[in-house]
A and B are shown apart, each in its own frame.
Chain A
Amino acid sequence: MGAEFVQFSLTPMLIGVFAAVACALPGNFLILRRQALIGDAISHVVLPGIVVAFLLTGTVAAIPMMLGAGVAAVVAVALIEAIRRLGGIEPGAAMGVTFTTLFAGGVLLLEQSDTSGVHLDVEHALMGNLESLIWFQADGWASLVDPVALAALPPELGRMATVCGLVLLATILFWRWLVMSTFDEGFAQAMGLPVSAIGLGLVTLAAISAVAAFDAVGSIIVIAMFICPPAAARLMTERLGVQVAWSVAFAVVSAVLGYVLAGYGPLWLGASNAVSAAGMIATVSGVILGLACLFAPHRARIGAGRSPDAV
């Protein structure tokens, strides 16, 4: 836990934590609104967004990529809504049509264009490269107060921290609105709240987190963190505030424990190579959810187990 830890593990771990928290916060509301799979859809359509941004600008700079991904997310949400309304198709199927088509388009564009000179491929997009976000300049805990070393921090850390802070701030600022429109949309509307704008804002917030996290950690973590920590937290309590706190705690634990298990676990077992940190973080969040499903105090639906037709 010395210089090596600071150099190789501290920044990826922090980025993982920020990404997990940024996704888990909006995830709480998405789950309650039964829109959990929006996160899934967004993280698939991010790929065509960044490919188009790359083809337009010719670089893999962060800002155009994130803009492209954001535009793609908005286009996807609009398309889902359009297909749902125009065709009278149920939302799940409309979502399935949209995100698979956009993802397929992204993959094909990527394979067609010459991206050999840059680090942009499908597997990277899915799995991220959390392990490679190391802090070269650091040589111990003292580097945390060394401005020269601090300037060489991976830029992803700053971006992810900013987005995480932004999401946290938005959640706190719009807390009452979010709660009211999530639990009782009719009441919120009667109170004069802009219900559809709140819904759109929530999806946008989720998209911002997804895009920023995707840049750093790949899309698996994004989907897992949107759903697993909030779902596990949902089984722990009946109060929304407490649930959000639990979800943040679960997200942090998943990120830290997952990273540690991926980086050091194989070494403990005698193997020499680390395994995918992103995959391990998702797995740990799944284990937490599994435990919550088995043992959490508020896991059962009221009436569950009695009605045989509850399929």
Chain B
Amino acid sequence: MSDHNLAPTPGDRATTFFKRNDVRRTSVIFILWTATFTILGIWLYPKFMPRIMSKEMLSAENIMIWFTIISAPIAGIVLALATNAFLNMHRGDTPPEEGPAVRTNGPVVVIWTVASTIFALVAIVWGIVELNVQSVEAAATSKSAMIVEVTGSQWLWTFNYPEQGIETHQLNLPINRPVEFDIRSVDVNHSFWPVQLGVKVDANAMVTTVVRTTPNKLGEIDVKCAELCGILHAYMETTGAVMTEADFDSWVSQVQQSGASA
């Protein structure tokens, strides 16, 4: 980089700013980083996250994708400036020449602060809106919801279906029927996590915590414990499935007859 870049005269700054070599190079790097993060956001989470089987799961994955995309330009600026500086590196045992004595730049600080505030606001508003949508839906479906009483004990989950009068260690649910999980623990804290449904809530002793969702895809679900609960915490897992109403009914009657699920 040539020396004249280091001390632009104030007058022609605005017009020549984007013609400066370092600015151009930084802009190119900015575009590359922004694109990288955008692609990462679009590719990474849909590729690796489990199947989306409820609106809650969709909302979680959307947040991860979109927040990556929204923050890509900010990451791009930071990384572009850092990369540019890195490429300008000075090596050797003597210090480099003195840089420009810029102590601050009022407009830059203000623009940066405003931009990061807007970014924070977007995240906040997004989250609040999602929360609100979820709680409105949960309230709307609370009357019609099928109740499943989930009990966490060291180190197993069990599920009581009061309407059907069965109790199992497998979480099977009918599709498109709102479900209300009433969760409690008989001992220490656990955390009930039906992974593909994208909801999670702690199981506490003597308190019932509630979480609602509506499974909207058929398929297997994994149920895990997400709160360290003692030596076999890792093994406090079980499976289940979202099935058609008919399949669910026949499973229920099978369990009712045998007294336990296979």
A in complex with B: no
